[in-house]
Amino acid sequence: MYYILKAQIRPTEMNTKLTLTIEESIIEKAKLYAKGENRSLSDLISNYLKVITANENEFEVPITPLVQSLKGSFTEPKDFDYKKELSEALSKKYV
C-alpha cells in the first residue's frame, strides 16, 4: 500500500510544497528516525536533496602549497601492484 506524503521543502529563498508517493513502511521508519534526531521529516528530505544536488566543487578541500609541491614527485614502477603491496604491508602489520 502506498500513501501520499506531503513534505514542505524549506530553502532559504522560499518554501515550496512537494507531494511524494512513498511506501507506508518507509514513511513510518523515516518518521521514527526524524523523531529520534529531533528533526522534521521535511528537514531530512530537504537536506538530503541539498546534498545530492550540490555542486561537487563545494566539498573539495583546497590543496596546500606543500602538498601541491609534492605532486608528481613519486613515479611508481610500471609493474607496481598496489593491491599486492597493500596486502603484504597489512599482513606484516597484523600477523
Distance CA 45, CA 9 (A): 7
CB atoms within 10 A of CB 9: 16
- pLDDT tens, position by position, for the chain (95 residues)? 555 555 555 555 677 888 989 999 999 999 999 999 999 999 999 888 888 887 766 667 788 888 888 888 888 888 988 899 999 999 988 87
Question: To which H or E segment does residue 62 belong?
Answer: none
- Residue 46 CA, chain-centre distance (Å), reads 14
Domain boundaries, the chain: 2-94
Distance CA 58, CA 49 (A): 15
Confirm if 26 and 7 have CB atoms less than 8 A apart.
no
**Strand ranges (DSSP E) for 1-95?**
2-9, 16-23
28 by DSSP, 3-state: which?
Answer: helix
